[in-house]
């Protein structure tokens, strides 16, 4: 489908436009809003710290106004109204957006923006569980200091159990995520109301003049404060990333009716507490609760942060699959953990890497307040890059005139740049960690892509050699033996090099030969009617191209069944599958890649998941032919 097919009318026809149901809205609460919903646990503690710990009444109202308008402009307007409209055949997320705006053109800068934004999500994914779980367990410090030495060990155990449980899947416990998060939002709303009742004047913070006055009064120091305010909107990307699972309407309805009101009330209640107790020490969130309710609140908060962390981990798994199938990541082992939920997958390599990084961060920083310095740099950069891609969607996909697209994008860009600049001030406090991880993953992505392209170029066969092979096959000098052989082609060639090499060695080939090209499209799902295309090459010889969307499970056997319906005479019961097992070596005729990239690519290529696992092939019917590729 062309880009123009998702233009102005996309909002009415997109698969993302699912009707709002109570079940859908509740499910969205449990998966989408974990990160945003638990931000009141640590946001105000970080904000108050940026103004010396004892803000004046005017400053307190200014801080609340900044938080309120950050939530309204960035989440309610930017993401809910505009970004979520830019779906890629119903799917969201920065990789889906990148694929949408670069479809049919090279778009080098846009591709880098999309890839780097996606890579930074991994950086966010290792910090969110650490800061969320720590901030929840630190609530016990409000009751007693006796348990303070045990907060970090307890957080490590919770995180260890969380990552360890991933291999079993979350399909069963996922059903309770929605009710728990609904209870969480009701609870924080009640806590907020209890504070507002005591100091109702906090309501005036809805006036943006309080935010503007604060910025003008504090000048450049406002950038430091914005770094704390930004913590209130981390998790905004999840609305877009999870759109394919729930549809935009359930996500929007949950935000406007439950999440936003609860967050505003909670932040207003914490501000009221600061007005009532200017010298307040400790986390204002837990100080809102009566003493008897703190321990139950800690338990509920821990459950909510575990759910938030689960959403981040699941998002990293889904992002990995998208990157693999768009050709930007080496093949990794992916396990489906649910027969009913497509999104329930487990990627061991990603899970254990994130676990080690998260545990190290938790132990090294030791508190949510310290981790707040490392949190935000990755998310703010991703949001900035999303805005850049969104402008291109406005112009190239929706066909908006520049006089409309530019002012809207400029507003979001100015706000994103302000938050981005504020978070750059956190680099020395740990903000470099997610940025460094993002850069490393970007290098992996670009190296893999360049290596694969160089490999394909090196395997291009001369037209005359293909013509000679087909002539020999037609002449009958190549013996035909009973059976069906499927040869994987790395490109679009009807006669893959692995087939030519096999025939040269064996001097024979099966009676039925399939040259198979597997192609991943830059849209999420391929209709079953378009799954396979068949091209006759010679007698008993067909070239089959099977297509999958970038979020689909690539089951080749099922796709070949579609090819059989279109005239390919394949017997799937006795089919044997052949693929090349390539070994990357240094080219003697001059390097095709930089030495360090070649070494990195060779390591990834050597350890990438093999075709039987990736394409769900029967291993007893799969054979590999070893060959060397000089790069």
Residues 319-332 as b or e (16 or more Cβ within 10 Å = b): bbbbbbbbebbbbb
More confident residue, 170 or 309: 309
For the segment 20-46, what is each residue's pLDDT rounded down to a tens digit?
A: 777 778 888 888 898 899 999 999 888
Q: How far is CA 242 from CA 30, 315, 373, 394, in A?
A: 11, 8, 27, 21
Quickly state the pLDDT bin for 8 (edges 50, 70, 90). Answer: very low
Residues 253 and 348 in one domain: yes
The structure tokens 């990160």 sit at 35
pTM above 0.85, yes or no: no
Residues 413 and 547 in one domain: no
Find, among 491, 135, 127, the residue nearest to 312 by Cα: 127
**Which of 404, 423, 450 is the endpoint of a domain?**
450
Residue 107 pLDDT exceeds 70: no
Asked if residue 60 belongs to a domain, the reply is yes
Q: At CB < 8 A and 24+ separation, what contacts does 117-120 make?
A: 117/381, 117/382, 117/385, 117/386, 117/389, 118/93, 118/94, 118/319, 118/323, 119/437, 119/438, 119/439, 119/440, 119/441, 119/442, 119/445, 120/378, 120/379, 120/381, 120/382, 120/434, 120/435, 120/438
HEC profile for 465-524? HHHHHHHHHHHCCCEEEEEEEEEEECCCCCCCHHHHHHHHHHCEEEEEEEEEEEEECCCC
Helix (H, G, I), strand (E, B) or coil at 143: coil
pLDDT for the residue numbered 9: 35
Q: What total number of domains does the chain contain?
A: 2
Transcribe 277-320 into DSSP letters. -TT--S-HHHHTS-HHHHHHHHHHHHHHHHHHHHHHHHHHHHHH
C-alpha to C-alpha distance for 627 and 548, rounded to whole angstroms: 27
For the segment 54-87, what is each residue's pLDDT rounded down to a tens digit?
A: 788 999 999 999 999 999 999 999 999 999 999 8
Query: Exposure of 252 by Cβ count < 10 A (0-12 exposed, 13-18 middle, 19+ buried)?
Result: buried
Structural element, H or E, at residue 276: helix 260-276
Transcribe 411-438 into DSSP letters. HHHHHHHHHHHHHHTTGGGTTHHHHHHH
pLDDT for the residue numbered 7: 36
Residues 578 and 481 in one domain: yes
Residues 445 and 470 in one domain: no
Range of the domain at 51: 3-450
Residues 18 and 57 in one domain: yes
Residue 328 structure tokens? 């930007």
Quickly state the pLDDT bin for 629 (edges 50, 70, 90). Answer: confident
C-alpha to C-alpha distance for 268 and 60, rounded to whole angstroms: 10
Asked if residue 64 belongs to a domain, the reply is yes
The structure tokens 């070893």 sit at 626
Residues 485 and 347 in one domain: no
* Percent of the chain residues topping a pLDDT of 90: 41
Asked if residue 455 belongs to a domain, the reply is no
**Which of 427, 450, 473 is the endpoint of a domain?**
450
Residues 426 and 467 in one domain: no
Asked if residue 585 belongs to a domain, the reply is yes
Q: How far is CA 44 from CA 143, 216, 594, in A?
A: 19, 21, 48
Residue 393 pLDDT exceeds 90: yes
| Rounded-to-5 percentages of helix, strand, coil across the chain | 65, 10, 25
Rg of the chain (C-alpha set) = 27
Residues 468 and 410 in one domain: no
For the beta carbon of residue 438, count every other beta carbon within 10 angstroms: 24
Quickly state the pLDDT bin for 182 (edges 50, 70, 90). Answer: very high
* Residue 35 CA to its chain's centroid (Å): 14
User: Of 270-284, 384-398, 482-496, which one has max mean pLDDT?
Assistant: 384-398
Asked if residue 96 belongs to a domain, the reply is yes
C-alpha to C-alpha distance for 277 and 267, rounded to whole angstroms: 15
Asked if residue 115 belongs to a domain, the reply is yes
CATH code, 434: 1.20.1740.10
Residue 2 pLDDT exceeds 50: no
C-alpha to C-alpha distance for 8 and 86, rounded to whole angstroms: 10
Residue 333 structure tokens? 């082992």
C-alpha to C-alpha distance for 529 and 543, rounded to whole angstroms: 17
Residues 335 and 275 in one domain: yes
Asked if residue 553 belongs to a domain, the reply is yes
16-25, 122-131, 361-370: which has the minimum mean pLDDT?
Answer: 16-25
Q: Are 571 and 485 in contact (CB under 8 A)?
A: no
Q: Are 170 and 17 in contact (CB under 8 A)?
A: no
Find, among 509, 579, 519, 585, the residue nearest to 541 by Cα: 509
**Which of 426, 450, 474 is the endpoint of a domain?**
450
Query: Exposure of 44 by Cβ count < 10 A (0-12 exposed, 13-18 middle, 19+ buried)?
Result: buried
Arithmetic mean of pLDDT over the chain: 86
Phi, psi of 435 (to 5 degrees): -65, -40
Quickly state the pLDDT bin for 102 (edges 50, 70, 90). Answer: confident
Residues 429 and 496 in one domain: no
217-226, 567-576, 618-627: which has the minimum mean pLDDT?
Answer: 618-627
C-alpha to C-alpha distance for 398 and 532, rounded to whole angstroms: 30
For the segment 397-444, what is each residue's pLDDT rounded down to a tens digit?
A: 999 999 999 999 999 999 999 999 999 988 888 889 999 999 999 999
Find, among 410, 388, 65, 365, the residue nearest to 222 by Cα: 65
C-alpha to C-alpha distance for 79 and 77, rounded to whole angstroms: 6
Asked if residue 456 belongs to a domain, the reply is no
Torsion sign (Cα): 605, 609, 615, 621:
positive
Residues 525 and 577 in one domain: yes
Residues 421 and 272 in one domain: yes
């Amino acid at each position: 489908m062309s880009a123009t097919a998702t233009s102005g009318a996309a909002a009415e026809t997109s698969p993302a436009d699912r009707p709002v149901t109570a079940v859908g809205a509740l499910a969205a609460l449990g998966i989408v809003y974990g990160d945003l919903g638990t931000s009141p646990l640590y946001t105000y503690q970080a904000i108050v710290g940026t103004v010396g710990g004892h803000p004046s009444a005017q400053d307190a109202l200014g801080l609340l106004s900044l938080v309120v308008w950050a939530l309204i402009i960035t989440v309610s307007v930017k993401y809910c109204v505009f970004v979520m409209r830019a779906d890629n055949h119903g799917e969201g997320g920065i990789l889906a957006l990148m694929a949408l705006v670069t479809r049919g053109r090279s778009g080098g800068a846009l591709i880098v923006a999309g890839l780097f934004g996606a890579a930074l999500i991994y950086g966010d994914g290792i910090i969110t569980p650490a800061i969320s779980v720590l901030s929840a367990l630190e609530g016990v410090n409000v009751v007693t200091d006796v348990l303070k030495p045990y907060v970090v060990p307890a957080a490590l155990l919770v995180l260890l159990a969380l990552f360890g449980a991933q291999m079993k899947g979350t399909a069963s416990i996922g059903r309770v995520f929605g009710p728990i998060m609904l209870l969480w939002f009701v609870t924080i709303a009640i806590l907020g109301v209890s504070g507002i009742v005591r100091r109702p004047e906090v309501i005036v913070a809805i006036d943006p003049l309080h935010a503007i006055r604060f910025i003008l009064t504090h000048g450049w120091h406002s950038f430091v404060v914005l770094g704390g305010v930004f913590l209130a909107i981390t998790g905004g990307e999840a609305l877009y990333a999870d759109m394919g699972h729930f549809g935009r309407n359930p996500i929007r309805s949950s935000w406007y009716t439950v999440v936003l009101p609860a967050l505003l009330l909670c932040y207003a209640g914490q501000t009221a507490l600061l007005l009532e107790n200017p010298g307040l020490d400790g986390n204002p969130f837990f100080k809102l609760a009566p003493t008897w309710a703190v321990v139950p609140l800690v338990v509920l908060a821990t459950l909510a942060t575990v759910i938030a962390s689960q959403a981040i981990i699941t998002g990293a798994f889904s992002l990995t699959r998208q990157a693999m199938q768009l050709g930007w990541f080496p093949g990794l082992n992916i396990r489906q953990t649910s027969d009913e939920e497509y999104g329930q997958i487990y990627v061991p390599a990603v899970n254990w890497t994130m676990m080690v990084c998260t545990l190290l961060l938790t132990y090294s920083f030791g508190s949510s307040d310290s981790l707040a310095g490392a949190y935000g740099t990755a998310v703010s950069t991703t949001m900035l890059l999303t805005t850049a891609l969104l402008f291109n969607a406005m112009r190239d996909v929706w066909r908006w005139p520049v006089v409309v697209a530019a002012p809207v994008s400029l507003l979001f860009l100015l706000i994103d740049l302000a938050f981005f600049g504020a978070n750059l001030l956190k680099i020395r406090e740990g903000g470099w960690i997610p940025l460094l991880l993002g850069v490393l993953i970007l290098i992996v992505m670009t190296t893999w892509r360049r290596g694969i392209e160089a490999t394909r170029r090196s395997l291009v066969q001369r037209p005359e050699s293909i013509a000679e092979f087909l002539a020999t096959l037609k002449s009958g000098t190549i013996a035909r033996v009973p059976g069906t052989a499927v040869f994987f082609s790395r490109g679009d060639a009807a006669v893959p090099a692995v087939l030519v090499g096999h025939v040269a060695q064996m001097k024979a080939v099966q009676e039925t030969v399939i040259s198979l090209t597997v192609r991943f499209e830059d849209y999420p799902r391929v209709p079953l009617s378009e799954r396979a295309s068949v091209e006759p090459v010679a007698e008993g010889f067909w070239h089959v191209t099977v297509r999958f969307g970038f979020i689909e499970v690539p089951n080749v056997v099922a796709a070949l069944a579609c090819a059989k319906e279109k005239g390919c005479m394949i017997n799937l019961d006795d089919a044997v599958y052949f693929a090349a097992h390539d070994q990357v070596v240094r080219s003697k005729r001059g390097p095709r890649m930089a030495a360090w990239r070649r070494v990195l690519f060779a390591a990834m290529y050597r350890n990438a998941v093999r075709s039987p696992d990736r394409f769900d092939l029967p291993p007893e019917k799969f054979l590999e032919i070893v060959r060397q590729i000089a790069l």
